[in-house]
A and B are shown apart, each in its own frame.
Chain A
Amino acid sequence: MLTVLQTELIRVFSKWRTYIGFIAIGVLIPIIIFAMKAEGNSYLGFATQSLQQVFTFTGNLMNGYTVAYIILGSLLVHIPLLVTLVAGDILAGEATAGTYRLLFTKPVSRTKIVVAKFITAQICSALLVLFLAVLSLGLGTLVLGVGEVVVIRSEITIIAQNDALWRFFLAYGFAVLSMGTITTIAFFFSALVENAIGPIMTTMAIIIVMNIISAIDIPLFEVVRQYFFTTNMNAGRYFFDNPVDTQFVVKNALILLGHIAVLFTATLYIMNKKDILT
């Protein structure tokens, strides 16, 4: 199994497509951080203006931690596209290139090959989140320093500086799970078609449709949307609540893991039954 995984990693990390996501994040995060350095205080002042009428804010609120929190929340909406670039191509790309014929005539079970590809896609997805974490936290604190995390949602929570890092650790961990779910969806569609564009477009279309349904406030949708992966994907931000509703976060995580288990099993079944005609 390790040999199959090794060959898969060699192939995926030899493709420039794999690095598109890293390049995009590598360009985007510094732009956001330097923009926040220039304009961040007025952004934060606007968000907290009602509180400032009652409280006096001291210290460095527009710091690396706050910016990393803002980036984490906003980019989780857009990173899926970057994640699908690898996951959508990992099976369909073999069909496009005609290399299924090479791969599936080797003395390795199809299950092993599919598992190796799945692990590789998940590694790429996790590395992308890790890169996002290192860059936003590392460059953020380097440029803006450290301080309290200002969490602005329906209410404002201020997390103490020495209470922030473990929350980031868990939030990024949850982001790995969320992006892992997106990866699994793209991986599933990649098994069905012979061109990488299809899985990428289909996965993004599903995300958009589910987000639209979630945004419409109709009781019927209320019942189903709690099971949408798009609803559960953002639960990582609840690690910045005080106290953290662990039960709620675990429930969200289990729903995402359920998506991964069902879709991965379906992919394995499809690939084991598939006639290779390309």
Chain B
Amino acid sequence: MEPIIEVEDLHKIYGDVHAVKGLSFTVERGDVYGFLGPNGAGKSTTIRILLTLIKPTSGTVRIFGKPLSQNRQHILSRIGAIVERPDFYNYLSAERNLQILGMLSGTNVSKAKLMRTLAIVGLEDRAKSKVKTFSHGMKQRLGIAQALIHNPDLIILDEPSTGLDPQGMVDLRNLILELSADHKKTIFLSSHILPEVELTASKMVIINKGTAMVEGSVRELISEGKLRVTFEVDSAEKAASVISSSAFADRLTSIDENSVFLKLSRSETSAVTQLLVQNEVSVEAVIPVRSLEDYFISITQGTK
């Protein structure tokens, strides 16, 4: 696969703060690449470096196979981005904002294209409205429109679903998947809403304190490690007693009125179910949970 973003040993130091420490990762063509980390992990700093808003202290960034520092304009002409809050020229209309930003991106934006782009994000009826009358969610959608207006190959989205309502988040997710699948765009997606990444990203890197903790395919990373399994039973106390006297005693994490919670692999889940049934515990449901959120929390809290 062709690498689109190659970051190697990236550092950024602000005074005493080492915001990015030797970060390395690679995004390949067609990836929807999740960029995860808790607040202050260095996500925004990294994105700002990718977009030349700030200069790295050291390290190399290559985008589309070329060094960013020497090919800034060519590279930026192929990138559409939202960086943090969706800020616009509030005294101008949505249409005028897009027109100006399209011109700066080197695209002659026709009225028809402008309206098509606004339609993608559901703002075609508000084209003439000044941005100062927009809600945060509408500005966020306009932000996505300005990132798409010049038909870029790489789209960098920094917390794009912030401020969107549930339907807006679903629409955004579908848009990301459509841009990736149908239009073959490469998408670099930073988000703290982890289920969003889980549902859209194909690969991801989790960073913490400026360092990459783990990089790989979302599917592989999620399947790695234990599941958090909830057993809904007729008697939680009896179930807990059975488990405590078995080889799975150390996997029991908690109990409540009708449930016991264990950390198990897939094969162990089956064995525990069998054990409970053999000991006359009625198992009403087995609910395995292995979300990226669990994984993310374990990584960033240093338990993995």
**Contact assessment for A107 and B76 in the assembled complex, using a CB-CB cutoff below 8 Å:** yes
Binds A, one of B98-106, B230-238, B291-299: B98-106
Number of interface residues of A (CB under 8 A): 26
A50 an interface residue at 8 Å Cβ cutoff? no
**A226 smallest CB distance to B (angstroms):** 41
Contact A276 to B48, CB < 8 A, known contacts A104-B53, A105-B53, A109-B73? yes
**Contact assessment for B103 and A104 in the assembled complex, using a CB-CB cutoff below 8 Å:** no
Contact A105 to B83, CB < 8 A, known contacts A10-B96, A14-B92, A99-B89? yes
**Contact assessment for A106 and B92 in the assembled complex, using a CB-CB cutoff below 8 Å:** no
A193 an interface residue at 8 Å Cβ cutoff? no
Within 8 A of A (CB), among B195-214: none
**Contact assessment for B104 and A103 in the assembled complex, using a CB-CB cutoff below 8 Å:** yes
**Contact assessment for A276 and B54 in the assembled complex, using a CB-CB cutoff below 8 Å:** yes
Number of interface residues of B (CB under 8 A): 31
**A192 smallest CB distance to B (angstroms):** 17
**A33 smallest CB distance to B (angstroms):** 33
Within 8 A of A (CB), among B10-51: 48, 51
Instruction: Give the distance in Å from the alpha carbon of A172 to the alpha carbon of B146 in the complex.
Output: 43
**Contact assessment for B52 and A105 in the assembled complex, using a CB-CB cutoff below 8 Å:** yes
**Contact assessment for A108 and B87 in the assembled complex, using a CB-CB cutoff below 8 Å:** no
Q: Which residues of B contact A3 (CB under 8 A)?
A: 103-104
A251 an interface residue at 8 Å Cβ cutoff? no
**Contact assessment for A105 and B89 in the assembled complex, using a CB-CB cutoff below 8 Å:** no
Can you list 24 contacts pairing A with B, beta carbon distance less than 8 Å? A3-B103, A7-B100, A10-B96, A11-B89, A14-B89, A14-B92, A98-B85, A99-B87, A99-B88, A101-B53, A101-B84, A105-B51, A106-B76, A106-B101, A107-B74, A107-B76, A107-B105, A108-B73, A109-B72, A275-B54, A276-B48, A276-B53, A277-B48, A277-B54
**B209 smallest CB distance to A (angstroms):** 19
**Contact assessment for B54 and A105 in the assembled complex, using a CB-CB cutoff below 8 Å:** no
Contact A11 to B81, CB < 8 A, known contacts A99-B87, A105-B76? no
- Interface of B toward A, CB cutoff 8 Å: 48, 51-55, 72-77, 79, 81, 83-85, 87-92, 96, 100-101, 103-106, 146
Instruction: Give the distance in Å from the alpha carbon of A4 to the alpha carbon of B73 in the complex.
Output: 14
B interface footprint on A91-121 (CB within 8 Å = 1, 0 otherwise): 0000001111111111111000000000000
Within 8 A of B (CB), among A158-172: none
Residue of A nearest to B73 (CB): A107
Q: Which residues of A contact B55 (CB under 8 A)?
A: 273, 275
**B129 smallest CB distance to A (angstroms):** 14
A42 an interface residue at 8 Å Cβ cutoff? no
**A51 smallest CB distance to B (angstroms):** 54
- Interface of A toward B, CB cutoff 8 Å: 3-4, 6-7, 10-11, 14-16, 97-109, 273, 275-277
Instruction: Give the distance in Å from the alpha carbon of A275 to the alpha carbon of B12 in the complex.
Output: 11
**A1 smallest CB distance to B (angstroms):** 12
**Contact assessment for A101 and B92 in the assembled complex, using a CB-CB cutoff below 8 Å:** no
Q: Which residues of B contact A102 (CB under 8 A)?
A: 87-88, 101, 146
Residue of A nearest to B84 (CB): A101
**A95 smallest CB distance to B (angstroms):** 11
Instruction: Give the distance in Å from the alpha carbon of A97 to the alpha carbon of B104 in the complex.
Output: 18
Q: Which residues of A contact B91 (CB under 8 A)?
A: 14-16
Residue of A nearest to B79 (CB): A105
Instruction: Give the distance in Å from the alpha carbon of A201 to the alpha carbon of B140 in the complex.
Output: 34
Q: Which residues of B contact A107 (CB under 8 A)?
A: 72-77, 104-106
Instruction: Give the distance in Å from the alpha carbon of A10 to the alpha carbon of B83 in the complex.
Output: 24
Residue of B nearest to A103 (CB): B104
Q: Which residues of A contact B77 (CB under 8 A)?
A: 107
Instruction: Give the distance in Å from the alpha carbon of A103 to the alpha carbon of B101 in the complex.
Output: 8
Given contacts A273-B55, A277-B48, 20 further A-B contacts (CB under 8 A): A3-B104, A6-B103, A7-B100, A7-B103, A7-B104, A10-B96, A14-B96, A15-B91, A99-B89, A100-B53, A101-B87, A102-B146, A104-B53, A106-B76, A107-B75, A107-B104, A107-B106, A108-B73, A275-B54, A276-B48
Chain B CB count within 10 A is highest, among A16, A103, A106, for A106
Instruction: Give the distance in Å from the alpha carbon of A276 to the alpha carbon of B100 in the complex.
Output: 20
Q: Which residues of A contact B79 (CB under 8 A)?
A: 105
Contact of A98 among B48, B87, B92 (CB under 8 A): B87
Contact A97 to B83, CB < 8 A, known contacts A107-B73, A107-B106? no
Q: Which residues of B contact A106 (CB under 8 A)?
A: 76, 101, 104-105
Q: Which residues of A contact B146 (CB under 8 A)?
A: 102
Q: Which residues of B contact A6 (CB under 8 A)?
A: 103
Q: Which residues of B contact A103 (CB under 8 A)?
A: 104
Instruction: Give the distance in Å from the alpha carbon of A101 to the alpha carbon of B255 in the complex.
Output: 50
Residue of B nearest to A104 (CB): B53
**Contact assessment for B83 and A101 in the assembled complex, using a CB-CB cutoff below 8 Å:** yes
